[in-house]
Amino acid sequence: MLDSELKSKINQLWAKFWSGGISNPLTAIEQMSYLMFMKRLSDEDNHGKTNSKLTKLDYVSIFKGCPQCDWALWKDKSADDMLKHVRDNLFPFLRDLGDENSFYRRYMKDAVFSIPTGTLLTEAVNLVEDMHIKDQNRDTQGDIYEYLLSELTTAGKNGQFRTPRHIIKMIVELIDPKIGEVICDPACGTAGFLINAYQHILKSNTSENLIKIDNEGKEYNFKGDKIQDWDFLRNKSLYGYDFDQTMVRISLMNLIMHGINNPQIKQTNTLSTIYNQKPEFDVILANPPFKGSINKDELSEDFTISTTKTEILFLEWMYNCLSVGGRCGVVVPQGILFGNSRAHKSIRGKLLEDCRLDAVISLPSGVFKPYAGVATAILIFTKGEATEKVFFYDMEADGFSLDDKRTFIDGKGDIPDIIEKFNSREEMKLENRKEKCFIVPFEEIKENDYGLSISNYKEIEYNEIEYESPEVIKGKILDLEEKIIKDLKELDNLIY
C-alpha cells in the first residue's frame, strides 16, 4: 500500500509532465525510468565502494569516465544547470557505459532524453529521491512503479496494452508456476506476467507467519524464506521479449524495482526469423497483441500453420517453445475460439490433439476497457498430453464495472470461483450446462469442428412469460385514459 503523500506527489508530477509538453504517459514513464536507472547506478556504485573497503579489494567506479555523473553530485544542482548536465553529460555517458552485451547498454540503447525544462526535471528527481529516502522496501518500490504504469490507458498501434493486474494474477494462480521452472512471456510489455509469477513463487515459499495483509485485504511481505537457490530464481527463471524498445526499458525497470537485479529481457520479434524456436520453457504466460500481421518474408520457418495473423502465430510459438509437460496461460481474442479459416481450425486442432487443453475461460468484453472493448478468452493448456475433456467457464464479472470507467466493486467478481472450480474440476461432475461452468468431452468438441466458443455448449434456460389477454390490456388502457381526462379537467378548473 502506497503512502498517500507519495501518491499525491506522483499525481502532481503527471500534471506537470502534461503541462510541460509530455502528454503521452508512455513517454513520461520512460523518462522517469531513466532517472530511476541513474539512481540505481549510484546506489550500486556506493555498494561497490563499501564492499571494497570491507574486503580491501580494488574497485573501479561505474563513474570512472565521468565522476560528476554520480547522482549525489548533480541531484541538488539548480534547475537549469541540472537540465544541461543531464542532457549534455550524463546521457552520452550512460549510452556508452559497459560493453556491447552489458545490461547498461541494453537498457540505454537508443535512449532519448526529452524532459523539456529544468523545473520538471527537478520535480522528477525529487520524487525518485523520496522513493529512496523513506527507506522503501522492494514491495513498496514495486508498487510505486506499478502506480506509475497505471496511467497507461491507451492501446499501442499494434494492439498491445497493459493487462489488468487482477486478470494476470488469476492466470498465474491457475498455472501455478513453481521454483525451478523457467518462465517466459514472448510479448512481455511492462512485465506484469513475469512479476506476478515471481511474486507467486515467493509467496508459495514464504512461511505463513511472515505474510502480512494490508487494510485492503491484500497479502504482501513475501520473503521467500524457504528458497535456497536465489540465483536461479532471479537470474535464470524469468525471460521476456518485446519488439518495442520503450517497452523493454519499462519492463526492465519494473523487474528491477521488484528485486530482479539482472532481468533477462530482450528486444526481439519472437515471431521472426531472428528468434530460434526451441522447447525450452516450463511455463509461458502472455497476452500477445491481438491485431496486426507480420511480413511473410520475416516469418520464422519454424511455423507450420500458414497465416500472418499474430494471434494464431503466437499460439503456435507457445506450443513450439514449451517443453513437454510445460504449461501455458494466454489471453486470446474470441475469434480464435470459433474462426472458420483453415489456420483457426489448425491451431485449435493442435491445442486439442497435441496438448491437453485444460480450460477455456470466456471474459466479458469490458475487462480490457478503456484500452479496447474486444471480447476475449483465456486458454490454459499443457503440452504433450491428449485432451480428454475441457473445463469451460463463462465469466460474468471481474470485480470492476465493465464500462470505460472500470469502477471498483469488490476487485474479485467471479475470480475466486474460477480458481476454486478449476482446481477441483477433477472431483466435481460439472455436468449442468446451464451453470457458469461445466465440462465438455473432447469427442464432442471434435465433432463440432474443434469449436471452443462456450455458446456452442452452454444450455440457455428460457423462462416462459405469461402475458395478460388482449381484452384485459385494452381495459387497463381505457381506464388509464379515463383517469388522465378526469385529471386534466380538474387541472383546468384549478387554473381558470
CB neighbours of 70 closer than 8 A, spacing ≥ 6?
42, 45, 63
CA distance 387 to 384: 10
Query: Could you check whether the bond before residue 177 is cis, i.e. omega within 30 degrees of 0?
Result: no
CA distance 262 to 102: 10
Name the DSSP letter for residue 90: I
Q: DSSP secondary structure string, 188-212?
A: -TTTHHHHHHHHHHHHHTS-GGG-E
CB 375 within 8 A of CB 344: no
According to DSSP, the β-strands at 355-363 and 437-441 are: unpaired
Q: DSSP secondary structure string, 265-305?
A: EEE--TTBTTS---S-EEEEEE---SS-B--GGGB-TT--S
Orientation of helix 138-149 relative to helix 4-19, angle to 10°: 40
CA distance 350 to 322: 13
End-to-end CA distance of the chain: 68
Residue at 372: amino acid letter: A
CB 373 within 8 A of CB 365: yes
CB neighbours of 188 closer than 8 A, spacing ≥ 6?
194, 240, 241, 242, 247, 251, 265, 286
What is the layout of strands, in order, in the sheet containing 322-333?
264-267, 238-242, 183-185, 281-286, 322-333, 376-383, 355-363, 389-394, 437-441
Domains along the chain with CATH numbers: 4-149 (1.20.1260), 165-456 (3.40.50.150)
CA distance 256 to 360: 33
Q: What is the pLDDT of residue 7?
A: 80
CA distance 125 to 360: 46
Q: Can you give the pTM of this predicted structure?
A: 0.85
Helix H or strand E segment including 238: strand 238-242
Q: What is the pLDDT of residue 496?
A: 65
Write down the H helix ranges in 237-332: 245-257, 310-321
Q: DSSP secondary structure string, 43-60?
A: HHHHHHHHHHHHHT----
Q: What is the pLDDT of residue 156?
A: 47
Q: What is the pLDDT of residue 1?
A: 54
Q: What is the pLDDT of residue 2?
A: 65
What is the distance, to the nearest Å, from the Cα of residue 382 to the centroid of all Cα atoms in its chain? 21
For residue 430, CA distances in Å to 192, 254, 392, 425 come to: 32, 40, 10, 7
Q: What is the pLDDT of residue 380?
A: 98
Q: What is the pLDDT of residue 295?
A: 81
C-alpha cell at 290: 491481438
Residues in the chain: 496
User: Which SS3 state, helix, strand or coil, does residue 304 take?
Assistant: coil
Neighbours of 370 (CB within 10 A): 14
What is the distance, to the nearest Å, from the Cα of residue 474 to the centroid of all Cα atoms in its chain? 58
CA distance 221 to 204: 12
Q: What is the pLDDT of residue 154?
A: 52
CB 401 within 8 A of CB 458: no
Helix H or strand E segment including 391: strand 389-394
> How buried is residue 285: exposed, middle or buried, by Cβ count under 10 Å (0-12/13-18/19+)?
buried
What parts of the chain have a pLDDT lower than 70? 1-3, 132-140, 153-161, 216, 292-293, 371-373, 462-465, 496
